[in-house]
Each structure stands twice: as structure tokens, then as C-alpha cells.
A and B are shown apart, each in its own frame.
Chain A
């Protein structure tokens, strides 16, 4: 009796295995491993990315031509390059992901460059914004933005709109210093003058003394940059509370004025100018569909940010790749295919610089306004198809 049972079990297992084997020949699983922060100070980025990916899969299905697209998440934490590298290795070796992606922070993206080069794994950068990253591995492609790219139109816009002097206040780290440099050079090219600058340590939360210095400078405008979240919110709040607006200063920035942060501020943020590659309230059909999908999927009035839109477009890129190349592709094939794509993104048309594998997109100058009782960003100027200016200024930097 026991033997019969054992035999049937083995037979059943063999049948099961062969069925599984047969089915995999027709329908493969394509794995997309994403490393984003779900804990720590940048947890909001992971949440935004995940909601966008889930909404995308709800709308478009989890399969492409019968091949299942499986997304595997790992927690980047508060930014830990060693851990991120370890996750990348684990995803590539154990999970055998076909595509890797994510990375909120530059050091974490840089940390996986070697790994993906060795494994030849195509890797889609969903946030990290330092210009040099894609040059660190031929398997990187970026679908987010570079800091220099999305700030580049702001200085020129300011000089054309009556701003003659500016004070700059940036967080004292890589992207902050890039921002300060890019804004200053474009502002001075247009004839403006930077009358003072502050670099604020990242751990600072009380911005009173810096705002006081800016107020005393009597500049026409204050240009700010701080990483999105608590630091940027505290910066803008102090600008409001200290009455810099009443003193006639215009607030200018970038990601600080994203729609998700606007409810944190009072009405004095109205009129603030920012430069960004995605305006949450734009009326493109792609954006309306995107926001509807997000609302349906999350069951609430979700406000997407730049990470959500990057994750959404990242999914478009992966789906398009599987549609054209099938479930099996090499890293070179995938990157070759991806960098030739043009995507109708919720932010506007998106393409890639094939040589640099970096994104080319519109950048919008927006003003914070109250429309129908809601505080949102409204586009007031558009610069089309902006390349990363840093790459052109530093053609040989590695």
C-alpha cells in the first residue's frame, strides 16, 4: 500500500513537473526587480513608485503576450550603498531578474554599476538625479531626470520676468551644489546677479537664521533646493513665516513645490515659481488616464509625484521591451531597444539620448496658484526636449 502511494506521488510529481516545463516554454515569467526606499526618511518615494506600478498592472494586466511580468521589491532604506549592492546581487543571482530598476539616491545607483555591468542586466533608474550615473555602466538607462536638466530653464525665465537679483539657499550635498551651479550660471547668463548664497547642512531643521540672512540681502528672489520631504517643507514654511514674501521676495525652486507637498504650506506659497519636468495637474490625455488609474487602484484621491511618473514610465518601457523582444533578451538587446523608444508619458513626450542613455524631456516653469479652491502648479512656460546640460558641458567626464 505504502509503495503504491509512493509511486503515485512520484508519478504525479513527474506529470506536474512536465506540465510546468511545457507551460514555461510558452509563457515565461519576466522579472523586474525594483530597489526603492520603503522605510526611513525617503519612504514616501518607495510608496509612490509602488502605487504607480500597481496601478499600471491593474490597468494593463500582468501579462504581455502571455508572459507574466512579475515585479519584485526590495527596501533601499535610508540610503545604504552596501545594502543596495547586496540586494542587486541577490535579485540578479537568486531571483534571476531580467530587468533591474529603482534607486532613490545617487550613491545607491552608483553602487550597483559594477554588478549590472558584470551581469549585463538592463537597469532602469527611477529617481537618482546626478548627471553622471548612466556613464558608470552601459546597462543603465534613466527615465527620471537629472538635477541640472530640470533646473536649467529657471534662471533664464527669472531674468526675463523682472528678477534682477537672487539669493540661493541649497542643501549642502551633491545635488544641492549642482543646482546652485546650474541656477547661478543660467541666471547670470541672462544678466541677473546672485547677491548671496547659503549651503545648509542636511541635518538642519530650523531655517530661521538662513531665512533671516536671505531677508537682509533684499534680493528680488530666493532660489531654494532641499531634498523633498521634511527639509524642503521646513524651508518653505520658514520662508512663509518670516514674511519674505511680504518683503517682496519671490520664491523659486523645483521639487519643493510638488503638489504632494503643497498642502503642508499656507496660502503664502501662492505665486511661488518652480521648474520641473512633471506638472501633476496637466491636462494631457496620458496624465488624465494615469491619475485615474492611480485613483482607481489606491481607492483614494492620489497625488502622484515625479517618482510615481518615473515608475509608471519605467513599466511602459519594460512592457514595450517584452512585447518586442519576447521574454528572453540579453542586456545589450534590451538597452539597445529601450534607448530608441519614445514614450507618451503623463509628463509629456519622453525620449532618450542614445549615446548617453539619459532622458530627454520637456521642462515646465510653473506657478503655484489656487484653482477652484485647490492649490496646484500651473504651467506658465515650457522648454521642449531638454537634454542634460551637464553632459554637454562635461563631454569626457567618467
Chain B
């Protein structure tokens, strides 16, 4: 039982990091059908900014993660206007090539300016300790990730499911042409969503650095996981991405704990089976279901 709860906590905290980073990707991919492989780069840049703020300027951890989110959001907005917009009408191949190219640019830039070694952890002392949670001592940092992830999921849920903007966004994901013809400014909506998604990614990169360590190769190293969340959850589905991220975190953790000899590919086998069963993901939006 203790082991079961430990796996659940480990998996959930890991899944929450995946969720925070990937939710923006799933919404933008669902909304504009742009294959944005550079999403991990925004998470990485957010993490780097937070690390520099904490280590060089002594900014408190929480403030640094928020500033990192804002910076990643601004960068995302600039990239959307200058680089992504001309891409929307192009096919998938140019999108893949250009966004993977952005990834390489980010990797090379960080290697050049910051250096290729992994960055020191910026988890503050008040989080970097063990707390008694009744049945065992458990790292406070992971509990913090679960709380923050849950809180963010709730906020994103409020925005998407309970606000006018969210209603429009869902409508645009479900049927972009119809949304346009009733007068919604879909491309402005996309810029806003893109900025929000990048900000969340930057925040996730900063706050999750203890689980996904920061180094220049980050942008590609974890991309597979982010894309799995999107594919399994269903492109454009907020709820799908939450379910998928948590499921991936828990299954991956449980697999590696109980059958470490299969740990490496258990997750991929399950994803493979699931996509055979439901090619559009667990909870796809109506337009593709």
C-alpha cells in the first residue's frame, strides 16, 4: 500500500510537469494545426531564465518562475508574429522543418551563451527537504509540483470551460471555418493562446527543472514526451492532455518501479496500443472525433 501510494505520488508529480509544459502545445496544435516542434525550446528557455535569475541575481524561486513564464510568453508572442504566422498556410513538412530548426537554433544559442553543462538545480531549501506525510518521508518538492500543477489545471479549466474566451477557443478548435464565418478573430485568438501556451511551458520548464534537468539538449530530449501527451490526449483537448499527462507519469513510474527490465519501452507499447485503438487520442475535440 505504501509502495502504491509512493508510485502514485511520484507519477502524479512527474505527470504534472508534463501537463504544465504540454497543455499549451495541445491547444495550439489543435487550434491551428501547426506542428510546433519548438515547444520544448520555450520550456527550456523559461527554465534557463529562471535559473539565471535565481543564481546570478538572487531572485526568489517563485518570483523567478513567474518572471520566466512572462519572458517565455513574450518570446512566444514575438515568434508567433514573425515566424509562425507565415507557416499556417504551408503544409506540414515546412512546419516540421522550420520548428525543428528553431529547436536547433535554441540549442546552439544556449550552448554558446551559457555552455553545454547541465544547469545547477534552483529548487530552494524550503522545498528541497523531506516531509512526513503520515506513512513515510517524502520530498517536499514533488508535493509542491502536484499542488502547483493541480492549481494551474484548475485555472486553465476555468479559462477554457467557463469564460467567453474559452468558449470561443473551443468553438474555434472544433470548427475553425465556422468560427471565422461567425466573425471570430481566430488568428488573434491564436496569438493569445500561443503566448499563454509558451508562458505555461516556460513556467513548467522552470518549476519542473528538478524532474527534467535543464541543459541545451532539453528542447529535443523531452520533445517525445510532450508529443505523446498531445497525441494520447487528443489534439486540442485540454482535459485529454491532463488525463494523458497524469497517465503517462503514473504508468511510466509504475512500470519502471515494478518491472525495471521493461521500463524503457512499457510506456511506448501502451501508447502504441492506445493509438491503434483510438487514433485521435483519448478525448479528441468534436472536429476530429
Interface residues, chain A, CB within 8 Å of chain B? 39-41, 43-44, 47, 172, 198-201, 203-206, 208-210, 212-213, 216, 229-230, 233-234, 237, 240-243, 246, 260-261, 263-266
Contact = CB atoms under 8 A, between A and B. Distances in A.
A370 to B, nearest CB: 16
Given A206-B212, A209-B10, 8 more contacts: A47-B116, A200-B263, A204-B263, A208-B142, A212-B7, A237-B213, A241-B141, A241-B210
A230 B222 contact: no
Nearest to A172: B264
8 contacts: A43-B216, A44-B115, A47-B115, A47-B116, A203-B221, A213-B260, A230-B217, A266-B128
Nearest to B9: A208
A210 B256 contact: yes
B108 interface: yes
Given A204-B263, A204-B264, A241-B210, A261 B137 contact: no
Contacts of B263: 200-201, 204, 209
Contacts of A265: 120-121
A241 B256 contact: no
A261 B264 CA distance: 26
A346 B218 CA distance: 33
Interface in B208-265: 210-213, 215-218, 221-222, 224, 252-254, 256-257, 260-261, 263-265
A261 B213 CA distance: 13
A199 B256 contact: no
Contact of B139 (A200, A242, A260): A242
Given A230-B215, A264-B118, A206 B260 contact: no
B177 interface: no
Interface of B: 3, 6-7, 10, 14, 107-108, 111, 115-121, 123, 128, 130, 137, 139, 141-142, 210-213, 215-218, 221-222, 224, 252-254, 256-257, 260-261, 263-265
Contacts of B210: 237, 241
Contacts of A201: 263-265
Contact of A241 (B111, B139, B257, B260): B139
Contact of A204 (B120, B217, B256, B261): B256
B213 A230 contact: yes
Nearest to A203: B264
A229 B264 contact: no
A92 B199 CA distance: 49
A208 B111 contact: no
Q: Which of A206, A240, A242 has the most CB of B within 10 A?
A: A206
A241 B108 contact: no
Contact of B211 (A41, A47, A205): A205
Nearest to A44: B116
A205 B211 CA distance: 7
Given A209-B253, A260-B117, A39 B111 contact: yes
Nearest to B225: A205
A285 B10 CA distance: 48
Contacts of A198: 260
- Interface-centre pick from B121, B260, B261 (highest chain A CB count, 10 A): B260
Contacts of B118: 229-230, 233, 261, 264
Contacts of A216: 3
Contacts of A240: 128
Given A40-B217, A234-B213, A206 B121 contact: no
Nearest to B111: A43
A41 B111 CA distance: 10
Given A44-B115, A204-B256, A243 B137 contact: yes
B251 to A, nearest CB: 11
Sorted nearest first, the 7 A-B pairs with minimum C-beta distance are: A201-B264, A209-B257, A43-B116, A44-B116, A209-B256, A208-B10, A41-B217
A241 B128 contact: yes
A44 B10 contact: no
A283 to B, nearest CB: 25
